[in-house]
Structures are given as structure tokens and as C-alpha cells.
């Protein structure tokens, strides 16, 4: 009798867990597992969305890696953003985070002003920066020229389009500021006092007290930054389109990544191949590359030891 | 925010040279830090200022290199509202963001609760899958999803392909809520159980009221995720301007008006303004949400 009730209890508790998890479990199956299997399937099929899909073996794969002119430029641009933009964003975010902990007068006002750009909708922020950095009429170049600094072409110059994007991402560094601020305020005060007693200089206090204490947060910022950079889609796409002056309307074709593919990122290729060229098979190949990369970085975030997000208690 | 003036006390008796140098050092540091603060504030604020100023310029002046409007053309905002479709886009955005937020909260709360408070086999695996989904670019599964919504259900050109998935739990919201629910002591739940509450009642009567700040943060993030979404509307709604949302329509706005930077910037202000306005009413929820996802593991 006792074992019977125990079993019944276990079954009830399992059912209860399933019931609570069910929205996510259904969503996972329908909006991830099923499409993921389809993506693998379509990556080996020729499919244009109209005629039924036909088996094409590895043709899509060789097409993407060897003949599709945008894949390698897009991968290079993505890596550029992953390395340079993320590094600068973490350094700048840490700097602003440290600055805000040092500000003693009007802290609330400063913090709000530093944080607001993070909230600007990506499209709106990109439109704003496309205007601000417009070489012809933009206020930034007007000011630069007034003070005698040679003004770059920003989103209209392939050498400057990624730095322009980076500048915009630095502007929206408010999320990192908040995270770093919280981490910096958590560093035990006694450690600073002890270091000061030992005669440590400001740099030594930063190097031997601050850094070790906040290094997990720095790693978190780096890895989440890398994942976000790898996914960057809206900003480079809109910046390229607006700077190129393409008027968008039904059926307009535009060369992605203006100028000279310099703002092309991997996620944009899925759109270009799938929804502009109606080559769903090749689009799925790029989607799988993107999947492999994002899962690799996510694994880094969740490594069992030294992982940044622990699953267990 | 408490405001502590870091200036040395002025009423102390004549001080030793060492104290004076320390005082001078503190004052210099105060000046240096606050000058840097002002410089940073300019960097973060000036883009907003220039966008706003341009939104008030005349057509011809917006194409010049002037920084400040000669005449303040408030009528530009009127013109934006008069653009065919603008009110529809506004309404669509509210439907997508509003309905999506409600569905996300309703479907994510029980999942987060189970992940934070139930003990069951496969819990860590489930949580890891949730985190992986959070990191997944939407482009990875978009081809089959598009074919599913457009070809099988004939729902392209509507907001439904973007809204319906939110009724099945959103990974980021689940994760954030789980982080928040972990901070609620188990003693409250045990007490509820002793009082004879079932799971659902414990969740509704005990946990939910305590989780209000977490839910507020999730709701805000979800609302703005929809408000900011560009990819979803581009895939599912682009063919039908009556289904566009503001973020998607904003860019085509520039197309419709060629190089009317003044009107484009007025529209940009109108897309940014609600987010910033809401922030001033809900600062705490925003900042709490960011720290919860970032700092606590």
C-alpha cells in the first residue's frame, strides 16, 4: 500500500511538472525542433518555394562556400564585429561603469543619460546615425570640418562603415554600464583598504583588486557580446540601405551590404538567399552555419567548470 | 540616489600640509571625474539633440549643414501623422507588443516557476535548452517557419506569425523570471503548502504577488522587443503595408519621402519617444532586469 501511494505521488509530481513546463515543451517542439530538422532537410534540397523540393545532395553547400560571392565577405565582416566591436564595447562599458561609480554629484542624472541610448529602438538608432554621420549634410561631419578634422565618409565608405556601426554600438553601451556598475559596487571595500595600506597605486588597486573581482562579469560581457555581434542584422542592414539611398518598394532588389559588401553580416545572407533569390536550400546552409557558431559560443557561456551561467543551484 | 559631496570639510581648524594635499587631491579628482562625466554625457545625449533639432527644420534647411532650425516647423510632426498608414502602423505595433507581452507572461511564468522551484529529472537539461534558445539567432529557423506560416497556414501579411509563438513561452523571459524566482525564499512556498495550497494556488496567490517586479521587467523587455522588432515584420508582414509595424515602416518612410531628413527624423523621434517615456516611469524594472540576467548566475 505504501509503495502504491509513493508511486502515485511520483506520477502526480511528474504530471505536475509536465503541466507547468508544457507551454515551453510544445513551443520547443513546434518552433525549434521541427524547423531545425526541416532546415537540415532543405539544406540538401533544391527548393524555390514554388516547385516541389528536389534532392540536390551537397550542391547547396558547395554553392554557398565556393560560388556565392557574399559568404566569405559576410563571415569576415561578422568576425570583424565579433573581435573589434566587442572588445571596444567591453572596454568602453567598463570605463563608463567605473566612471559612474566615481561620480558623486548628480549620479542619477548621469546614469540615466548614459543608459538612454541603449533603449533607442535599433531601427530608429540606425536612422539617426545614418543621418548624423551622413557625409553631405550630417551634423557630425559639419562639426569635424569646422574644427579642421578631415571628415570620413562613414556609412558611404567601405573602410568606415564598420567603424561607424561600432560607434553606434558604443553609444548604446548602457546595458554593460549597468552590469559593470553592479559588479564594481560588489567588490569588498576591505580589499581596497588593505591594498591602500600596502601602498598600492591606483593602477595596482585596479589590476590586483578590481580586475580579479569582476573578471567573471567581463567574461560574461565578452561572450554575450560575441553572441550578439554574430547576430547583428537590423543595424548593418538598415545602415547600408539608408546610406545607399535605395528607395524601398514592393519587389525592389538591392545589392546587400552597401558599400561594397562592407556591412554584410551572416544573418543577412539567410534573408538574401531565401527571400530575395528564392533559394531556400542555400539559405538553410547559411542558417546551419549560423546555428553551429551560436551554439559554440553558447557552450562557452555554459561550460561546466568556469561556466558563466550555471544550470544547477 | 544619495548625493554625497566629496569635497573636504571646510570648517576644520588650520590643517597640516599633508591634510591640505589630500584635500587638494580630492578636489582635483572630483573635477576630473565630473568633467569626464560631462564629456560622456555629451556623447550619449547629442545624437538625440541633433535628431530632435533636425525634426523641426524646414525641408530645405534639413539638407543644409545647419545644426539649429531657423524656423521651428512643428508642422513636421503633423505631416508624419498624416502619412497614409502611419496610424495603422502605430496600431499594429501596439497589438503586436501588447498582445505578445500578455501571452509571453502568461506562458512563461509557469515554466520559470517549475525551473526555479520544482525538483525533477532533466531540470538542468531543460534550463540549458532554454538558455540555448535565448542565444539562437531567429534566422536559423526562419526558412521552415516562413514556409509553415505562409504556405501551410496562409498567414503571411498578418501579425499572427509573430504573435502566436509568444503563447508558448519565450526563452529570454523564462530565464529572467527564473532568475527572479530563485530569490524568493522556499519557506514561503512551504508555508503555503502547509496551509493546504495546491501548486497552482501557491503560484497565483503566493509567488505571483512577490514576483511582481520580475514580471514587470519581463513585460517591459518583451514589449520593447516587439516594438523594436524589424526581422519579424520584414519576413511576415512586408508584402502587406497594412500589417507593418512602426519599426519596420520607419525605414520605408525615408523611401516614401526621398531625402526628407526632417520628416524622417520626426518619425524617428516618434518611434523612440514612447520607449524613453516608459523608461522614466519604470526605471527600476529596466535596471533590475539587466542586472538579473547579467550578474546573478
Q: Among partner residues A35, A107, A224, which is closest to B144 by beta-carbon distance?
A: A35
Model pLDDT for residues B165-197, shown as the tens digit of each residue: 999 999 999 999 999 999 899 998 889 988 888
Separation of alpha carbons B121 and A40, rounded Å: 30
Whether the CB of A183 is below 8 Å from some CB of chain B: the reply is yes
Place of cell 539544406: A43
Whether the CB of A290 is below 8 Å from some CB of chain B: the reply is yes
* CA B14 vs CA B18, B21, B26: distances in Å: 12, 13, 18
Residue range B206-224: mean pLDDT, rounded:
91
Q: Inform me whether the pLDDT recorded for A150 exceeds 70.
A: yes
CB A56 within 8 A of CB B154: no
Model pLDDT for residues B85-117, shown as the tens digit of each residue: 999 999 999 999 999 999 999 999 999 999 999
- A123:B230 CB<8 A: yes
* Residue A182 exposed, middle or buried by CB count within 10 Å (0-12, 13-18, 19+): buried
Q: Among partner residues B62, B67, B276, which is closest to A119 by beta-carbon distance?
A: B276
Residue range A277-283: mean pLDDT, rounded:
95
Q: Among partner residues A121, A224, A290, which is closest to B228 by beta-carbon distance?
A: A121
pLDDT of A308 reads 61
User: How many CB atoms are located within 10 Å of the residue A187 CB?
Assistant: 16
Whether the CB of A87 is below 8 Å from some CB of chain B: the reply is no
Which residue does chain A place closest to B288, by CA atoms? A178
In sequence order, the 6+-apart residues with CB closer than 8 A to the CB of A311 are A302, B123, B124, B125, B127, B128, B131
Please, which pLDDT band fits residue A250 given cuts at 50, 70 and 90?
A: very low
Which of A117, A124, A125, A127 lies closest to A93, judged by CA? A117
Q: How far is B144 from chain A (nearest CA, A)?
A: 5
Q: Among partner residues B174, B255, B283, which is closest to A249 by beta-carbon distance?
A: B255
- B265:A26 CB<8 A: no
Q: How far is A304 from chain B (nearest CA, A)?
A: 11
| ipTM reported for the complex surpasses 0.95 | no
In sequence order, the 6+-apart residues with CB closer than 8 A to the CB of A1 are none
Please, which pLDDT band fits residue A61 given cuts at 50, 70 and 90?
A: very high
Residues of A with CB below 8 A from B249's CB? none
Instruction: Find the angle CA(B232)-CA(B248)-CA(B53) to the nearest 5 degrees.
Output: 145
Residues of B with CB below 8 A from A217's CB? 294-295
Amino acid at each position: 500500500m505504501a509503495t502504491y501511494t509513493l508511486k502515485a505521488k511520483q506520477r502526480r509530481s511528474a504530471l505536475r511538472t509536465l503541466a507547468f513546463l508544457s507551454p515551453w515543451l510544445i513551443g520547443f517542439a513546434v518552433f525549434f525542433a521541427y524547423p531545425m530538422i526541416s532546415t537540415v532537410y532543405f539544406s540538401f534540397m533544391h527548393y524555390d518555394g514554388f516547385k516541389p523540393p528536389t534532392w540536390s545532395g551537397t550542391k547547396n553547400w558547395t554553392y554557398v562556400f565556393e560560388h556565392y560571392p557574399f559568404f566569405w565577405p559576410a563571415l569576415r565582416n561578422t568576425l570583424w564585429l565579433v573581435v573589434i566591436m566587442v572588445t571596444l564595447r567591453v572596454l568602453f562599458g567598463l570605463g563608463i561603469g567605473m566612471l559612474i561609480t566615481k561620480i558623486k554629484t548628480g549620479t542619477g542624472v548621469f546614469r540615466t543619460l548614459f543608459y538612454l541610448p541603449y533603449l533607442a529602438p535599433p531601427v530608429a538608432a540606425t536612422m539617426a546615425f545614418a543621418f548624423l554621420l551622413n557625409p553631405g549634410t550630417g551634423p557630425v561631419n559639419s562639426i569635424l570640418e569646422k574644427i579642421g578634422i578631415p571628415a570620413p565618409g562613414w556609412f558611404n565608405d567601405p573602410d568606415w562603415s564598420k567603424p561607424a556601426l561600432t560607434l553606434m554600438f558604443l553609444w548604446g553601451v548602457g546595458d554593460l554600464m549597468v552590469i559593470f556598475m553592479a559588479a564594481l559596487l560588489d567588490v569588498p571595500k576591505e580589499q581596497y583598504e588593505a591594498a591602500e595600506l600596502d601602498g598600492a597605486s591606483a593602477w595596482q588597486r585596479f589590476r590586483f583588486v578590481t580586475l580579479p573581482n569582476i573578471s567573471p562579469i567581463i567574461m560574461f560581457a565578452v561572450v554575450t557580446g560575441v553572441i550578439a555581434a554574430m547576430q547583428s542584422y537590423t543595424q548593418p542592414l538598415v545602415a547600408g540601405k539608408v546610406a545607399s539611398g535605395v528607395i524601398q518598394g514592393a519587389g525592389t532588389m538591392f545589392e546587400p551590404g552597401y558599400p561594397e559588401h562592407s556591412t554584410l553580416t551572416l544573418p543577412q545572407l539567410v534573408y538574401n538567399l531565401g527571400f530575395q533569390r528564392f533559394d531556400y536550400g542555400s539559405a538553410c546552409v547559411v542558417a546551419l552555419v549560423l546555428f553551429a557558431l551560436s551554439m559554440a559560443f553558447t557552450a562557452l557561456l555554459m561550460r561546466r567548470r568556469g561556466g558563466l551561467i550555471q544550470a544547477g543551484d | 540616489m544619495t548625493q554625497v559631496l566629496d569635497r573636504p570639510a571646510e570648517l576644520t581648524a588650520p590643517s597640516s600640509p599633508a591634510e591640505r594635499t589630500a584635500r587638494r587631491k580630492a578636489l582635483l579628482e572630483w573635477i576630473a571625474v565630473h568633467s569626464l562625466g560631462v564629456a560622456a554625457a555629451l556623447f550619449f545625449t547629442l545624437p538625440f539633440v541633433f535628431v530632435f533639432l533636425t525634426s523641426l527644420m524646414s525641408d530645405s534647411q534639413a539638407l543644409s549643414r545647419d545644426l539649429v532650425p531657423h524656423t521651428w516647423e512643428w508642422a513636421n510632426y503633423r505631416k508624419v501623422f498624416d502619412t497614409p498608414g502611419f496610424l495603422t502602423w502605430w496600431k499594429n505595433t501596439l497589438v503586436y507588443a501588447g498582445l505578445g507581452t500578455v501571452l509571453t507572461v502568461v506562458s512563461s511564468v509557469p515554466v520559470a516557476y517549475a525551473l526555479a522551484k520544482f525538483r525533477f529529472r532533466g531540470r538542468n537539461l531543460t534550463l540549458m535548452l532554454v538558455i540555448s534558445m535565448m542565444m539562437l539567432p531567429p534566422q536559423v529557423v526562419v526558412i521552415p517557419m516562413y514556409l509553415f506560416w505562409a504556405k501551410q497556414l496562409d498567414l503571411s501579411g498578418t501579425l499572427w506569425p509573430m504573435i502566436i509563438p509568444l503563447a508558448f513561452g519565450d526563452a529570454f523571459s523564462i530565464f529572467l523570471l527564473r532568475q527572479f524566482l530563485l530569490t524568493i525564499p522556499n519557506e514561503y512556498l512551504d508555508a503555503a503548502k502547509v496551509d493546504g495550497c495546491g501548486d497552482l494556488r501557491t503560484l497565483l496567490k503566493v509567488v505571483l504577488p512577490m514576483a511582481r517586479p520580475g514580471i514587470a521587467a519581463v513585460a517591459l523587455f518583451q514589449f520593447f522587443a516587439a516594438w523594436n522588432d524589424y526581422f519579424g515584420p520584414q519576413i511576415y508582414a512586408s508584402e502587406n503595408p497594412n500589417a507593418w509595424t512602426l519599426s519596420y515602416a520607419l525605414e520605408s518612410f525615408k523611401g516614401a519621402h526621398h531625402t526628407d531628413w526632417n520628416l524622417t527624423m520626426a518619425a524617428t523621434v516618434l518611434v523612440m519617444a514612447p520607449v524613453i517615456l516608459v523608461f522614466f516611469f519604470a526605471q527600476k524594472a529596466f535596471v533590475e532586469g539587466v542586472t538579473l540576467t547579467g550578474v546573478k548566475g
